[in-house]
Structure formats: structure tokens, C-alpha cells
Structure 1
Amino acid sequence: MQSTTDRRLRTKLTSINKTIREGRPPFDTAESENVALHRMPILTGSPRRVSEMYKFWFRTRGCTFDRAGQCSMCNYGVGPEIDAKQMARAVRWQIAGVPEGSSIYVSPSGSLLDPREVPRDLLRSVLTAAARRKPVALAFETRPELCGPEIFDELRELVPRTTRVVVEMGVESWTPEIRMMCHLKPSPQSAYERAVALAREYDFDTIANITMGGLGLTHAAAYADTLASVRGARVAGFTTKMVFPLSAKAGSLLGWAHDNGLWEPPSLWMLVRALADLSSPESFGDGISDLDISWYDPDLDGVTQARPDGCAECRPMLVDVLVRFHLDPRIATLRPALDWSRCDCPAQADRMLSASPADALWKDRLAEVADRWDESNGDGDRRLLPLVPSAGH
């Protein structure tokens, strides 16, 4: 149970996060896309093999949880209410062009199974359109609280048995206190455990999204939390553990903290070190691990202002290694990075990851964020952000 002090601090941070987001003007739908498509290679199936994924994003009124100031690192926008029938037609038209037997990912701004964001008739239209393409895999993201027998029955009814249903959930941290305070996500541990157990009953795959670099955490504490979270998600039974280092995004509390010198992204070397620790031969031998990665190389644009990086010498090598690890997640793929000696970045990363008494003071750093906000008179980021999220690795 949270202490009164922790509860007040979290309430304050959530209020700040909400204020930063509410400052963004609503999107002009006349200038916005209804549906966007990105194509990318992924690993699917068991054994895992490379296939092409067609990732569809479609416009909604915005993420319900974003509106409530949750998720300190996200920056999804809020638009006007949609015409569900019009949106269903747009999605059906786009998905109809997908080759049969591909992998399909369908994504609103937040949670596909949230009826406040995606009305049930629209959801059925989206799932039916995807099912007609007889995909090898159909993936989506949602919150664990929204997973239940009724909606899973509907998925099972609409999606062919030959299609692997993949349920992705934002775990962020397997430590409830860090998830609630640093990421402002109040989903209880029991919700994740129930969702994974239920997915197993329906023979659905699950992905745990796990961050590196939460607000308030030192680099060493963030690194340790990522390792612990992947291991906790393994014990809980998640099929795949998706690790992604956080960036500073405009319109988010994390981005505001970065702009005020209170947070820095983790380095790409931290990510490489974590992947190596979590893909050890003792666990997987020479085989493919249960890891995947995302958002390790986003473009610097109006949204992403600072990203995980290396120096000009090592960065191209690191990105190349991570691109290959995404499709071949084994420790041998990381070897060029692990053997690298042409700059001081690996040694700098090792120094950043050295344990320190300051690692335990993350609540003090969160309180400093709240205090700095008050000192700045609540000057949040008011820039208008693009409606369609970037593809980002």
C-alpha cells in the first residue's frame, strides 16, 4: 500500500503530466490521416522466423489513459470524436491490400480493447478486416485490465485458428512501485498475471513492453530495473520481452524533465549490455532468445528531442547491431558491440552502471521534478505534435 507521501507525490506528478498534455491544441482532422501504414520485418511463430509485418495505425479520440495523465513517457495526442462507421470503412479499405499470410498489427493511439477509445462495432470491423487476410499473426496493444474472457471469446470467434493472436502490454517495470511512481501507470501486478494466464488458456501469445530509463532513476538503477523486469516477466509467462530505451519526447512529463536538466536518456551501450546479460548462453545456449527491442533509433524531430545514443564513432555500429538483433536475438549477434574498442563509450557506460547509494533515492528525484515544476509556474510544452506516430525502430 502506498504511503500518504507517495500518494501525494504521484497525484502531483500525474497532475503535471496531464497539464502538459492538455496544453496541446486538438488536431485538425481536415489535415490529418485516418489510417497510416508502416511495414517492417519481424520475428513471429515458434520456432521464431522472419516475416513482414503490416502495422496499421488508425485515428481515435485518443488514449483514455493519456487523458488521465498516466504514462510519464508517452505523448499520444487527443483528437476530436470520430465517426466510427467512417473510420471502419477507412481501415477496411487499407487492410484489404495486405497480402494473405502476412503479419498484421493494428493500433489506435492507446489500447485496442478499450471501448472508450475503440467502440465495439469499430473493433469488430477492424478485426474482421484483418481476419480476411488470413494473417500468420495478428498483434495489438492493450492494458491488462481490459483483457477478459468476453473480449477474448470475441477475438477467438473472429480470428482464424491458423492466426497467432499476440497481446502486447505495457509492463514498463515489473516492480509495482516503480511502475506506479516513475511511469505513473497504476495497473496492478495481479492484472498482468491474470491477463497472461488468460491468454495462455486461449493459446494467445503475449509481449511485455519493458522500459529502460524511467523518470527519477539513475542509469544504474534503470539498468537493474530492466534486468529485474525482464526476469520477472519471464517467470510470469510472457512469451516475448520487448525492451525499449526511453527518449525525451515533447508533450510528456519525461520530455519536460529532460528540458529542465532532470533526466537523460540511457545510452545505447546500456541497452547492448542488458541484452547480453539477458541472452546468456546459460539461458539460451546458441539459440534465439525470448527478447525483442523497439524505439532504439527514433528520428530526432518535433516529437523526439533526445534519444539513446553513442558517439559519432560507435553509433552507426550500435544501430546496425541492434537492427540485426531485432531479427536474430542471440548473444552472437551482439559480438561486434561487445568486442568494440575504438572509443571510450563502453568504458563510460560501465562507469554509469556502477552501483551507488544515490540509486536508491529515486523518490527524491521525483520530488525534485515536482518542485521544479512549481518553481517554473507550470510552464509546460504547448507545441502542436503530429497526429500520426513515427515508425521508429
Structure 2
Amino acid sequence: MRDTNPFLSAVMRKVRSGRPRLETAEPFFTRVEPVPRGNYVEIWFLTSGCTWDARGGCTMCNYGAGPQNIAPLFMQQAVEQALAVLPVAPAELMVSPSGGMLDDREVPPKARQGIYAAMAKSTADLLLIETRSETATERHLDEYRATFPHRSLAIEFGLESASSWISTFCVNKGAEPDRFAAAAAAAHRREIGVYANVCIGTAFLSARESVEDAVQTARWAFAHGGERVVLFPLHIKRFTLLEVLHHAGLYPRVSLWSLVECLRRLGSENSHRVEIAWYKSYYTQKSKMTFSPTTCDICLPTVLTLMDTYRQTQDFAVIEKLAAFSCACHEEWRAAIEAEPSSSLPERVLRSYEFLDDHLGVGARDELASVSRRLFVEEPFTYATWKAHDLA
């Protein structure tokens, strides 16, 4: 992990400063969805939190952080308890902490070995973990494969955007996209599948830019080792930059029509390898999400039902039906996505940075001056450059 944007990291630490720690009384969370293979089951287990989150973290993310120094046995037992109460037998089993399964600082080796032992008892056709790309070392990948020598394995990496500029100045990812490509190649050498998680609704981007970035990122991921892409329309969560921007009128809720448009542009030739996730909230506690992606009250139930159908089948005919769906909110979205922003992305980012520094009292003027030079002189950005890079 490398802090490529000290100003945005300082902002994120300020945003998170009042966040309460998660309680050990809720050591795991599970969700179940029907997918083409059968039942997809995801188990999240409590840790002290994502290592990158502790340094500021990504602008959209908040999976929370538990008490410091959670014991390895606690993590192992959380996964064991979750597996014991699953309502269905999983065809695909995903086990993940808040940040990265292969991050020794978040999930110590002893905890990971115990969790792997619990996963090994599952009859799932596919076992998955999620981690940051820079934690996928040769040693960790060897351990993962050696533990399950005859099982189908995969890793999900949070790519978010394949634009280094957007990753640095909008997501604050703390990792270059090229690291994804290196991790994917290392995983493939061990016959481990690779999934790339891609955001829709990244901070500071217009609706059109967000769709273009997600589509370009998906194509880049396919060209650089990703066998599957998972599109994530972003929720607005507490203690995130998205929440701060939304309350200031600088960030609208993500429209599910943007998700539909991304799927439409990626086409029928890719639908078998483009999944969707978290297009709705699965939490029973409403406080977990401030706002979720939406359309309008009139069509939302129908749109979500069709999204569920696509999640279960990955049938492009569902996307064609959604793309042709008639609703006033769909027309409003079309007008928004066709509109030209009144200023360039770097100009909008800088204005937002200046607002955040004043609004939050970050007191990071030196870092802001430095990032201003990078935005306009050292690391200029245009979508023409990004699209050319996508073809490389």
C-alpha cells in the first residue's frame, strides 16, 4: 500500500474520526443469492479492520473496524459459526474480512489457516476470497493453492478503476492498477481464477464519466487477467467521503440505470462473465447504509426484480428489457448522462478538495497545494488519454 494522495488520505482520516468500532457481539454477516451455478454465499467476518482504511482508505468504503488486536481464534470461530448456520448449501462460497484475506496485519497467518480449514469442509464447487492486489504475494498464493490442491479457487480484487488518475485522485485506492495485472498473472500460474471488482459512481465523476470509467475498466480488466468482472453501483455509507459530498449537494445517489447502461455497453458477448453485486442493500439494519442506488419509487420494485433475474442467470435478454424500460426517471437519467460537465474533471476535483479542506477543517493546505500541481501539471488527465490507455 502506497499513499499516493496524502491530501485525500488526510480528508478520509477526518471523515472517519468519529466512527465507532464494531462490536464483537456481531462477529459475522452472511448473504445468499441465486446465481447461475446455484447458491452464492458470502461470509464477512470481523477483524480490527482494513489496513488501508486505518491510514485513510478509499473514498466510498466503510466495512467498519472491530476492536484492536482481535484474536486469530475469534476470526476462525466467526467463520465456523457462520458456516454452521447457513440456510442453504453453497455452490459458490466467498469468505472475506473488511479489507484483505491475504493481509497478514488484518488476518494473521494462524487465523487464515483456521479459516481455510473451515472452508475446506464446505462442498461448494467454487471457493473465493477477497483481498487487495498488493497482498497477493507468491507466498500467500502458494498457501492458498496448497491448502485446496484439488478445488476450484478464485480471488476477488478491488480494482475499482483501471485509470491510475481516477484511482489516485478520486478513489484514493493506494495501489496502482498495474498491480492488479501482476497479481492476476501470479494467480493464473497457480490455476486460481481472478475477479475484478469495478465501481459505478466514483466520487467527483459525472454520471457519464462514471459509466465510461466502469466500462473501460471492465474491458481493461479482461485484457489484463480478469476472467470475471463484478460491477458495484456504490451505496452511500456513513463515515465515507460519498456521505460528506452527498450532504453538501455534491454527490447524487447512483442510478441503477447507470448499471444497466454499463451492462448494455459491455454487450451480450460479455454477459456470461459480467456479474453484478450490491445493487441493493442486504442489511437488516437500515443504519448500515445512508442511501442505496435507486431509480424512482414507481419503477424500483420492477427494476430490482429484473436485476435479481440477471444476477441469477446473467442472461443479456434481461438487460435488453431493462434498457428499453419506459419510465420518466429513465428519461431523466438519459438527459443527465448526455449532459456535458461545465468544467473539466481536474477542475471539479480541485474545487471539491478546497471545499473539503474548509468544510472539514482538515488543515492540509501544503498537501492541497502539492496535489493541485499534480492535477494540472505533473499528472494531467483527459478521457481521450484514458481511452487510449485502455486499448494498450
Aligned to 1:389: none
CA distance in 1, matches of 2:361, 2:159: 29
- Say whether residues 1:222 and 2:217 are aligned partners: no
Indicate how the Cα distance of structure 1 residues 312 and 37 shifts in structure 2: closer, same or farther if over 3 A, else same: closer
CA distance in 2, matches of 1:225, 1:65: 23
- Say whether residues 1:53 and 2:44 are aligned partners: no
SS of structure 1 residue aligned to 2:156: strand
- Say whether residues 1:34 and 2:27 are aligned partners: yes
Aligned to 2:344: 361
Indicate how the Cα distance of structure 1 residues 24 and 155 shifts in structure 2: closer, same or farther if over 3 A, else same: same
CA distance in 2, matches of 1:17, 1:121: 31
Aligned to 1:175: 163
- Say whether residues 1:339 and 2:324 are aligned partners: yes
1:132-171 aligned within 5 A: 132-161=121-150, 163-171=151-159
CA contact (8 A) 2:42 2:94 kept: yes
Q: How far has the Cα of 1:150 moved from its partner?
A: 1.2
Aligned to 2:357: 374
Specify the code of the residue in structure 2 equivalent to 1:231.
R
Indicate how the Cα distance of structure 1 residues 221 and 90 shifts in structure 2: closer, same or farther if over 3 A, else same: closer
CA contact (8 A) 2:155 2:192 kept: yes
Indicate how the Cα distance of structure 1 residues 340 and 16 shifts in structure 2: closer, same or farther if over 3 A, else same: same
- The match for 2:10 among 11, 15, 20 is 15
Q: How far has the Cα of 1:193 moved from its partner?
A: 0.8
Aligned to 2:64: 77
Indicate how the Cα distance of structure 1 residues 18 and 97 shifts in structure 2: closer, same or farther if over 3 A, else same: same
CA contact (8 A) 2:159 2:177 kept: no
1:1-393 aligned within 5 A: 10-29=5-24, 32-42=25-35, 49-80=36-67, 81-96=69-84, 102-161=91-150, 163-280=151-268, 283=269, 288-298=271-281, 301-341=286-326, 343-354=327-338, 356=340, 358=342, 361-378=344-361
CA distance in 1, matches of 2:254, 2:178: 29
CA distance in 2, matches of 1:94, 1:340: 39
Specify the code of the residue in structure 1 equivalent to 2:205.
L
CA distance in 2, matches of 1:218, 1:102: 38
CA distance in 1, matches of 2:315, 2:78: 39
Indicate how the Cα distance of structure 1 residues 58 and 352 shifts in structure 2: closer, same or farther if over 3 A, else same: same
SS of structure 1 residue aligned to 2:280: coil
In the alignment of these two chains, the number of paired residues is 356
CA contact (8 A) 1:131 1:160 kept: no
Cα distance per residue 1:332-371 (max 9 Å; x no partner):
1123322322x2222222211215254x622222222222
Indicate how the Cα distance of structure 1 residues 93 and 254 shifts in structure 2: closer, same or farther if over 3 A, else same: closer
CA contact (8 A) 1:216 1:363 kept: no
Indicate how the Cα distance of structure 1 residues 337 and 94 shifts in structure 2: closer, same or farther if over 3 A, else same: closer
Q: How far has the Cα of 1:125 moved from its partner?
A: 0.5
More displaced, 107-116 or 11-20? 11-20
CA distance in 2, matches of 1:295, 1:74: 13
Q: Give TM-score, length-normalised by structure 1.
A: 0.84
CA distance in 1, matches of 2:186, 2:222: 16
SS of structure 2 residue aligned to 1:133: coil
CA contact (8 A) 1:131 1:159 kept: yes
SS of structure 2 residue aligned to 1:128: helix
Cα distance per residue 1:206-233 (max 9 Å; x no partner):
1111011111111111111111111111
RMSD: 2.2
Q: Which structure 2 segments of 5+ residues have no match?
A: 363-392
Specify the code of the residue in structure 1 equivalent to 2:62.
N
Aligned to 1:383: none
CA distance in 2, matches of 1:94, 1:25: 24
Indicate how the Cα distance of structure 1 residues 361 and 125 shifts in structure 2: closer, same or farther if over 3 A, else same: same
Aligned to 1:386: none
CA contact (8 A) 2:280 2:293 kept: yes
CA distance in 1, matches of 2:82, 2:279: 28
Indicate how the Cα distance of structure 1 residues 50 and 125 shifts in structure 2: closer, same or farther if over 3 A, else same: same
Q: Which structure 1 segments of 5+ residues have no match?
A: 1-5, 43-48, 380-393
CA distance in 2, matches of 1:75, 1:333: 31
Cα distance per residue 1:293-317 (max 9 Å; x no partner):
1121126922322222112222122
Specify the code of the residue in structure 2 equivalent to 1:18.
R
Aligned to 1:45: none
Specify the code of the residue in structure 1 equivalent to 2:106.
E
CA contact (8 A) 1:279 1:289 kept: no
CA distance in 2, matches of 1:27, 1:90: 14
